[in-house]
Each structure stands twice: as structure tokens, then as C-alpha cells.
Chains A and B, each alone.
Chain A
Amino acid sequence: MKARAFIAITACKLTHWLLRVMGRGATQLPGRVANKIYPDLLGYLARDVRTIIVTGTNGKTTTSRILEETLREAGISFFENKSGANLLNGITAIFIENCSATGRPKKKTALIESDEAAFKKVGKYTDPELVLVTNVFRDQLDRYGEVTHTLNNIKIGIQNSPHAVVCLNADCSLTASLRDEIGNKVIFYGVNEPIYKHRVREESDAPYCIRCKHEYEYEYITYGHLGKYHCPNCGYSRPDPEVAVSRVFISDADHSEIEIEAAGEKFKALINLPGGYNIYNGISAVAVAYALGLDVRIAVGALSSFECGFGRMEKFMLGDAAARMILIKNPAGCNQVLNFLSNISEESIFVVCLNDNYADGRDISWIWDVDFEVLAGLQDRLSLIYLSGIRADEIAMRFKYAGIDPAKIKVQKDYGKLVDAISSQKKAVYIMPTYTAMMDLRALISKRFGYKNFWE
């Protein structure tokens, strides 16, 4: 088996090198090559690595970035999958990068963001020490069918990870229900009070009890279907979280100020990113630190100091325009972005780039489940909306039906011309691309403005 591992590792490294030489940032191919040669390769490479897995629909990347900061502060040497390569092949390639030609790991801890469906295998091969489940929302339904299917994938993944301590979001009725299906030690985290005074109109992704199908009652909702729920019929209810946001003092367009309660102690914390969903990203990272036995203060400190993740409110200059890039991929996440955007006060340009490649989700129907109507009330601050990507026509039409003045809706499918148009205006720009649109746009922007390539 060792010879085969050697060949697979070499082939992967070679492919990776070739792609780099050609100036390409493909994240799937090297791992695919290796897995073709040696299907159990990841299991072989992960045997001496302590793996932390982050999975769930929303918040994986930002949470991983906070954890990265936490691990670094805690003095733990680790490697991670950084460029959103969260499927089996991408994760395998990251493990290969971390090992010698014979498969010996250079660093002994791995922080791995895993796609929910891929987690079934990733869990099995890596035998993780810790699994964090952020939440379960509707996402790219064409691939998974429905949320209960996603939940089932995560369940199997955890069942394939018998040694892992599992951190579950108590506020997500779907995620929290996993406790009854698994034999692992579970640590719940959650938010103990509402976050927003006003929220966008959004449908719940889980209005009915996962156990008995009776409608839930809520003491409060933080966003989407997250909150303090209970089922009046069978008694299923939100478990008390061991690691919690006990107070939300401020949550505005720039940051949140909160109090965290863990291990019987209270900590004041500042989250350096806007939006209620980032409060969840923060508390889930604290829960992981707590579960790993790290000093919780280190994680709390990381919340205020970490830098924005890839496409998660990243800031950069496009000529004269101050741009922020915010990845969109499903209605719950996109509605949270709108919760944030509806608080902006300066005149801004919005850009949405909608692709329907496999990694974006083939079905773009979800754009109609997003409350873009809320933008109609902001039109005095919205100077223009540019729509781009493969399905630009469809998202342009969506904005028209959301009540935006058609004169403000500009379709520009050519990214070069799009970037020209934006960078010549001295305005705040919010760019919301789907995954592959973000990759294409990033490539063009790095070339044009000299930002470093994303795979570095």
C-alpha cells in the first residue's frame, strides 16, 4: 500500500505544481488525481493527524477563520483548507500538501471545513477529534433534495466519527436533534436572547417538529428558524447551551458587542464583523475552543482580531471604489446579508453576480425566496445595481419584481466592463457573487489591481 500512496502523493504534488506553473488556481484536480490512484489515501494520511471538522450549511468559512486565529494564538501548529476546497478531493490535496513524499505529516493538527455531503467520507477517513455543526438551512437543493437529507448526511458523518466531541447549535432545531442519533459527547452552544429588533421577511426552513411534525412555538427567533423553540406536542425543545451568548448589547452595521458565558464564567466580547450570523460564527468558535480544552479567553480575543475570510465581507479598493465582497449561496445567508445592508447609510452601488455552475447550485430559484423587496425601501441610498454572471438576466428580473426602479438595474455580463464601470465611481460597492462567479471575478481583480491570488 505504501508504494501506491507514494505514487498518489507524487501525482498530486505534480499536478498541483503544474497548475501553479500554468497560473491556474484549480482546487479539485490534484486531489482527484490522487484519489483515483489510491481511494483510501485520506485515511492513510490522516492517521496521525488530530482533525477538527467544521460542517453545516452556513458560516463554515468565517468560523474556520476565527478558529484559525484561536489555534494560532494558542500556539498550536496546524494546517487547513483555506480556499473553499471543502469536498473530498480538495481536502485530500490539503493533507497531501502537509505530508512528506512517504506520507508522514508535517503538522499534527488539521482544521478542515467540510461540505455536508462530503463529510460522510471525510469523517470516516480522518476519524476527527472534534466536529462542529454550524446549522442546517436550505442550500443548493438541487444537489441535496431537502434539509432533512442534509441533516442525514451530517448524521452519517458523525456516526462515522465515533471518537469526536460534537459541538451542536442548540438554536437550530434540526442540528440539535442530532444528539439523539449519535453516541458522541455533545456540547451545545447558542444565543440566549434575540439579536435584531427588526428582521427581513423570511420563511422558516423548519417550521414543523423534526420528531412529530407538530408546529413549533418560539419564545424568540434570532434569525431564520434559529431561536428558542419548543414543540407543544411531543416536548422536543431547545437544549440549554453550555457555551452561550448571554447578552447582545449592540449589533450594528460594523460589529456586535456581546457577553459570552462558558464554563461558569462571563466574558465581554466584540465581534469584528456585522450581522447576527457572525454572532453565531463567533459563539460556535468559542464552543470549539471550550471543547478542545483551550483557554476560552483566547477564542474570545480572536473574535475581535481576526481578518475577514475569503469573500466574507472582505474589503478592498477597486480604483476609486471601496468594495466589500460577500459570497451568497442560499436564501438564509443572503437574507442575513440584506439585514446588514439595510443598515448602511452611505450612497452605494450593489453588484450581484449569479452563476449556475455545479458549485453554485444549478437551481437559482432561491433568489425568489430572498427578501430583495427590502431594498426597494433603500433606493435613495442605492445609486445603481449591476447584475452579472451566467444568469444575470434572471437576477435583473428579480430586482425589477422586487420593486427597484428598472432605470437603476444594469445588466453587464462582461466582468472586465463591470469592473471598469465600478472602479471609476467613487462610491461604496457591495459585491455579492455566487461561488464560481466570485472565483472568476477574483481572478480578474487580482490581475487588474494586483491583489494576491486567492490560492496563496
Chain B
Amino acid sequence: MSDYSLNLCHLYPDVLNLYGDTGNIICLKNRMEWRGIHCEVSNLSVGDELHAGDHDFFFIGGGQDFEQEVLLKDADENKKDDILAAIDDEKVFLAICGGYQILGEYYKTWDGKQYDFLGALDLYTVGSETRMIGNYMYTCDALDGDKIVGFENHSGKTYLGEKCVPIGKVLNGSGNNGEDGTEGCHYKNVFGCYTHGPCLPKNPAFCDMLIETALRRKYGDSISLADFPELDDTFEKNAHEYMTARLSKTNADDPSR
């Protein structure tokens, strides 16, 4: 066992738990522990107070619209200030779908109702009547253009402001809004995207980059995952390569993609 440890905060695990997003926690915890990095997971939900200082890494998943309304009030009252402080403090965030949208400024439904969100990221989301759905693939600038694959399923179209950049460029699928060819948002150490599937297990390089970022923030820039035991990623690579190959052969508008 090394002396390294990261505290992982899973926000609203009982509410935002759609489409296997919890698999990201399973993935993070295993990939840390296989390397001897201690990983503590805290589940914080409605009614719990967040103390940002206790955690190094935050995860927020996606939920059903019905359930998302339940937690907006709670997020505003019990967690917003600490989330903003943690982002400012360059803590690592991974936010998927509904969790990604909630970090933005607001959500406007297709019939014009507006819900104010946390405003942690310079982006907003507009509901549409069509669902953007299917396996998809995009590049990740933070991984020198390596591909990320997953399953998107959202009717919200997200538009980024000037203060943040996308994670990368959509190669196949819709991404943020199906219009500007971008997917996700990267701001400081916050990554938000629409990638279910879940996102991390079949994109191990993305997972490791997030772990390394959190380690460096906590223990200094000289630390590198390359100094830890190497993992056998055969299963992960097979799953990743199967989907990149399949998507390279299908058109974006192919319903079977």
C-alpha cells in the first residue's frame, strides 16, 4: 500500500443514478485500489451537508427529469457554495448528463419554462422535443485527441459560453447539441459530458487522466501514474476498440449505431 489516498464524493447517488453512471465510481475505486491508492467513497444526498474540503474528487451522474426536480432545491440550499469553492480550488469533477447540466447556468424547457441551476460553469441547456440517443464517439483534447466512446441519451441541448472549452470534437453522434460539433465541457479540473455507458470503464485513459489530475493536485506535479503498478487493460481495450471500430463504420444518422 502506498501512502496515497483520494476521497471521492458521490453526489446524489440515490437520485442521479440512471444509465449505469454508478459504474464510474466502481471504475475509479478499482483502478485506484489496483494501484495501491486508497480510495474512500462518500455518498452525499438530499439533506446532507457538503464540506468540500473533505473530498478530492466529485462525481455527479444523470437522473430522470422527475427526480432532478427533487434535488435542485437541496443543491441550492446545502451544497452550492461548497461546489463552487471546490471548483475554484481546482478539485476534480466528473459530471454526466443531468449532473453536467445542473453545474451550468440554467435549463430552459422547450415550452419556455426556465430553471436556474448552480451557475458553476459558463453553459446553459435548452430542452428539445427530439432525443439525441445512441452510441457515440468524440475526441478528448486533454488526451491529445484520443477517442472517448459511450452512449448518449438526452433531449437537452447544451451550449458553452466563453469561459469554458469543450472536451473535444464529436466524431459520430450528437454531443452537446447536435449542431456545433462539440461534446462536453472542460473548465479548470471539471469535466462534464453526456457520456453514459458508463463513461469511464471503457475509456480507461480518461479515467486514469482524472485520477492523475486529482493526485497531482493533492500531492504535487511530480507524481505520475506511470510510477504505480501497470494494470492489465485487456478487457477495457477490447470494449473500447469494439465500439470505436463499430462507430467508424456507421453513419451518424444510422439508428443502429
Residues of A within 8 A of B (CB): 138, 141-142, 145-148, 203-204, 207-208, 213, 215, 357-358, 362-369, 391, 393-394, 396-398, 400-402, 406, 409, 411
Contact = CB atoms under 8 A, between A and B. Distances in A.
A223 B168 CA distance: 42
Q: Which of B22, B67, B135 counts the most A-chain CB atoms under 10 A from its CB?
A: B67
B14 A396 contact: no
A142 B236 CA distance: 23
A213 B239 contact: no
Contacts of A398: 23, 201
A208 B238 contact: no
Nearest to B155: A145
A374 to B, nearest CB: 13
Q: Which of B22, B66, B134 counts the most A-chain CB atoms under 10 A from its CB?
A: B66
Contacts of B151: 142, 362-365
B202 interface: yes
Contacts of B133: 142, 362-363
A145 B22 CA distance: 18
Interface in B198-243: 198, 201-202, 232, 235-236, 238-239, 242
A95 to B, nearest CB: 29
Given A141-B19, A362-B135, A368-B201, 11 more contacts: A138-B18, A146-B65, A146-B66, A207-B14, A363-B151, A363-B153, A397-B238, A398-B23, A398-B201, A401-B23, A401-B30
B169 interface: no
B22 A369 contact: yes
Contacts of A215: 46
Contacts of B21: 365, 368
A397 B232 contact: no
B38 to A, nearest CB: 17
Contact of B238 (A141, A362, A366, A411): A411
12 contacts: A141-B19, A142-B134, A146-B64, A203-B17, A215-B46, A363-B196, A368-B26, A391-B242, A393-B239, A396-B238, A397-B239, A401-B30
B193 to A, nearest CB: 14
Contacts, number: 98
A85 to B, nearest CB: 21
Contacts of A146: 18, 64-66
Contact of A213 (B23, B69, B202, B236): B69
Interface residues of B, number: 37
Given A142-B153, A207-B14, A396 B235 contact: yes
B243 to A, nearest CB: 8
A8 B152 CA distance: 39
A28 to B, nearest CB: 16
Contacts of B196: 363, 365
Interface of B: 14-15, 17-23, 26-27, 30, 46, 64-67, 69-70, 131, 133-135, 151, 153, 196-198, 201-202, 232, 235-236, 238-239, 242, 256
A363 B97 CA distance: 15
Nearest to B240: A393
Given A369-B17, A396-B235, A148 B64 contact: yes
B23 A368 contact: yes
Contacts of B232: 406
A402 B201 CA distance: 12
Given A397-B201, A397-B202, A400-B235, A213 B70 contact: yes
B65 to A, nearest CB: 7
A365 B66 contact: no
A367 B20 contact: yes
B92 to A, nearest CB: 20
A400 B23 CA distance: 12
B14 A365 contact: no
A368 B20 contact: yes
A365 B46 contact: no
A141 B202 contact: no
A368 B22 contact: yes
